[in-house]
Homo-oligomer: A and B are copies of this chain.
Amino acid sequence: MARVLVVNPNSSVAVTERIEACVAPLQRVGDIRIDVVRLPEGPPGIQCQRDVEQVVQPLLARIEAEKADANVIACFSDPGLYAAREIAHGPVFGIAESAILTALSRGSRFGILAILPNSIPRHLRYAGAMGVLDRMAGDRALGLTVADLADADRTFDRLCSVGATLRDTDGADVLILGCAGMAHLRERLAEHLQIPVVEPTQAAVANACAAVTLGW
């Protein structure tokens, strides 16, 4: 049986469980087992560029050791993605990259729902490095800490109001959740705003499963 490894590079058990729940529908398909693991060495949440850098070494070590058929890095800053591709046994998917590519087939201009304002320059650099800036409608922050995200109602309220601004002021017709831990709110948000919403870990794990199934 083939295996897709999903590494949550922070140490949070709660976030890891939410990730596990959100990829469960993909779990049932075909001969692929999806293993979701957390990085005990990681910080409780990744909130700044330094946090991003800090998880790269243990993340690479884990991916190298696991020798999975495909790998997903489940943090929206895609830490260590290009280095992981050098050393991994199978292909490696970053959830930000996969989410953006998925959004490009579901709408005309995408908006990103960032957690904190300091991620926005990173997202802009990343969309620039990906060469897709012309399709980016906007990037706006919820202004919540990773800890705040535990409060689902408050998070949903912010997602609705920031999402509406991305849709109405910036012209986004598809949204991306800019964090691995908000999958449980995806469907309600899409219904509330009446535009597609992409959950990044689901997007990346779907890509990883397809790669394994097709032998790419």
Contact = CB atoms under 8 A, between A and B. Distances in A.
A199 to B, nearest CB: 8
A130 to B, nearest CB: 7
A187 B215 contact: yes
Nearest to A93: B105
A101 interface: yes
A29 to B, nearest CB: 3
How many chain copies?
Answer: 6
A182 interface: no
B196 A48 contact: no
A28 B209 CA distance: 13
A213 to B, nearest CB: 5
A101 B105 contact: yes
B122 A82 contact: yes
A132 B129 contact: no
Interface string A76-114: 000010110111000101100110011011101100000
Given A25-B214, A87-B50, A125 B108 contact: yes
A149 interface: no
A17 interface: no
22 contacts: A25-B214, A26-B210, A26-B213, A26-B214, A48-B83, A49-B85, A50-B87, A53-B53, A53-B57, A91-B106, A97-B104, A105-B207, A128-B130, A128-B131, A128-B134, A130-B135, A131-B134, A133-B134, A190-B216, A206-B206, A206-B210, A207-B210
